[in-house]
Chains A and B, each alone.
Chain A
Amino acid sequence: MIDTETVTPSAPSFSDWACPLPLRDYPTIVLGHGGGGQLSAELVEHLFLPAFGTADAASLSDSTVLTLPGTRVAYSTDSFVVKPLIFPGGSIGTLAVHGTVNDLAMSGATPLVLSAGFILEEGLPMATLARIVQDMGAAAREAGVRIVTGDTKVVERGKGDGIYINTSGIGVVPAGRDIGPSRVRTGDVVLVSGTIGDHGMAIMSQREGLEFETTITSDSAALHTLVAELLVAAPGTRALRDPTRGGVASSLNEIARASNVGIVVDEEKVPVRGPVRAACELLGLDPFFVANEGKLIAIVPAAEAEAALAAMQAHPLGRDAAIIGAAVETHPGMLVSRTGIGARRVITMQIGEQLPRIC
């Protein structure tokens, strides 16, 4: 068991971090690091625990006992696979924390603890792993959540993309809070917390064969404090979504179906950064389908829309928030957008991965 009392880590400094002995003997991951023996223990003790700020080696045990405030618990799990592992604005480590924190936050929960499961590929440079787990530790500290249990396995070289991470998370939900994709009603208002498409295009800019130079960085961020502010201003909030894979298009389509309402958005009101728009033009992609890792969509009753907007804009992660559309009675289950020339188009969910097109 790991002590659930808060451990305040000393201020992290990564610039001069060096892997302590005896890890230094292995500049890369070897199969033995997943074998449950000394090498595994050293990995946890010398790399994971310092990075996560959970200094108690007792967390080597298989489970952890928690005392949680309240009885309504939100529980979520997410697995992370991304290429490249490190990208402008973050790494698979930041995503692994933010992703699960955000999944919890979207049901109105306050995230408390995370687990971290690692599948490492033999040959992964130790320095890369160190950077990733430090990113996880930093992201967790910043979000005020603790990584309390974990597991590591190693697969043979060629059987993985360096590292896969699974995180599960637990959060508590205040009594009476009821947020879900099926609660939207006609007349409700759709907001987005900021510019869309930043994460997906930051990743795309690094892909072999598609590279371009850009200042676009991933928007990876933990959104639960933004959600907290939003829910104070708009307690009647119906639905929250973080539009990750599949982008805003998928999130709004899912909500439209779950609530059996139509959703109409005004394309010109959806905030998109210039370079993201330009990259989409160049590759023939649509920002509506591009992934975000630090944005949310909120659907609120019309009476609370202005307050919700003001609350989001007052938060650092919601400065570019905007009202982008509404739930309507017509075309239930479908997402329709009003285009720049005042016509309409249907935005469906994409079928697979979004691919650059020439046509």
Chain B
Amino acid sequence: MCLAVPGRIADIFEEHGTRMARLDFGGIQKTVCLAYLPDAVVGDYAIVHVGFAISRIDEASAMETLRHFRELGILEEELGEVADHEYSAPTPCPLPT
């Protein structure tokens, strides 16, 4: 269900009486409907699905999640796990070095 992609609100305007916005998605721009995010302002990031911004991205939560991931990594390094598990690592790609 549902391919949705984050973009940055670059411009907000009205079209056919509906709140619309131009969003920038890493170098391409697309007009999307912003009616469901009445509080969003230029510069916010939003998740877009089939031409509709459906959710604003919370920067603080994103940072928090990433920080948490990094801590997981540190913890794992300290424990020095992985090695003795019966899991076999994916075959490395036999590229020339």
A residues in contact (CB < 8 Å) with B: 189, 205, 212-216, 264-266, 269, 273-275, 277-279, 281-282, 284, 302, 305, 323, 325-326, 328, 330, 338, 342-344, 357-359
- Which of A214, A266, A302 lies in contact with B93, CB distance below 8 A? A266
User: Provided the pairs A266-B93, A325-B95, A328-B94 are in contact, do residues A359 and B1 lie with their beta carbons within 8 angstroms?
Assistant: yes
- Which of B3, B5, B28 lies in contact with A357, CB distance below 8 A? B3
Most buried by A among B3, B25, B93: B93
Q: How far is the CB of B56 from chain A (nearest CB, A)?
A: 18
Q: Which residue of B lies closest to A216 (CB)?
A: B28
Q: Which residue of A lies closest to B22 (CB)?
A: A213
- Which of B25, B50, B96 lies in contact with A278, CB distance below 8 A? B25
For residue B27, CB closer than 8 A to chain A, the reply is yes
- Which of A213, A275, A323, A357 lies in contact with B26, CB distance below 8 A? A275
Q: How far is the CB of B92 from chain A (nearest CB, A)?
A: 8
| A residues near B60, Cβ cutoff 8 Å | none
B28 touches A212 (CB 8 A): yes
Most buried by A among B26, B94, B96: B94
| B residues near A278, Cβ cutoff 8 Å | 25-28
A282 touches B5 (CB 8 A): yes
| B residues near A216, Cβ cutoff 8 Å | 28
B95 touches A282 (CB 8 A): no
- Which of A205, A214, A344, A358 lies in contact with B3, CB distance below 8 A? A358
User: Which residues 1-31 in B have Cβ within 8 Å of A in the complex?
Assistant: 1-3, 5, 25-30
For residue B91, CB closer than 8 A to chain A, the reply is yes
Q: Which residue of B lies closest to A324 (CB)?
A: B95
| A residues near B48, Cβ cutoff 8 Å | 282
| A residues near B26, Cβ cutoff 8 Å | 274-275, 277-278, 281
Task: Pull 21 A–B residue pairs with CB atoms less than 8 Å apart, ordered by A.
Answer: A212-B29, A214-B27, A214-B29, A264-B94, A266-B93, A273-B27, A275-B26, A275-B27, A279-B28, A281-B26, A282-B5, A284-B3, A302-B96, A305-B96, A338-B92, A343-B90, A344-B91, A358-B1, A358-B2, A358-B49, A358-B50
Q: Which residue of B lies closest to A212 (CB)?
A: B30
B27 touches A264 (CB 8 A): no
* Cα(A302)–Cα(B97), bound, Å: 11
User: Provided the pairs A305-B96, A323-B96 are in contact, do residues A213 and B28 lie with their beta carbons within 8 angstroms?
Assistant: yes
Interface of B (DSSP majority class): loop
Interface of A (DSSP majority class): mixed
Which 6 pairs between the two chains have the least Cβ-Cβ distance?
Answer: A275-B27, A278-B26, A213-B29, A338-B93, A214-B28, A212-B30
- Which of B2, B5, B95 lies in contact with A266, CB distance below 8 A? B95
Q: Which residue of B lies closest to A265 (CB)?
A: B93
A264 touches B3 (CB 8 A): no
* Cα(A284)–Cα(B95), bound, Å: 29
| B residues near A212, Cβ cutoff 8 Å | 28-30
- Which of A189, A277, A330 lies in contact with B96, CB distance below 8 A? A189
| A residues near B92, Cβ cutoff 8 Å | 338
Can you name 11 extra interface pairs (CB under 8 A) apart from A278-B25, A281-B5, A338-B92? A205-B28, A269-B95, A274-B27, A275-B27, A282-B5, A282-B48, A302-B96, A338-B90, A344-B90, A344-B91, A358-B3
* Cα(A305)–Cα(B48), bound, Å: 42
A282 touches B90 (CB 8 A): no
| A residues near B27, Cβ cutoff 8 Å | 214-215, 273-275, 278
Q: How far is the CB of B82 from chain A (nearest CB, A)?
A: 12
| B residues near A305, Cβ cutoff 8 Å | 96
| B residues near A323, Cβ cutoff 8 Å | 95-96
Most buried by B among A278, A328, A342: A278
Most buried by A among B2, B28, B30, B91: B28
Q: How far is the CB of B90 from chain A (nearest CB, A)?
A: 5
* Cα(A357)–Cα(B5), bound, Å: 12
| B residues near A359, Cβ cutoff 8 Å | 1-3
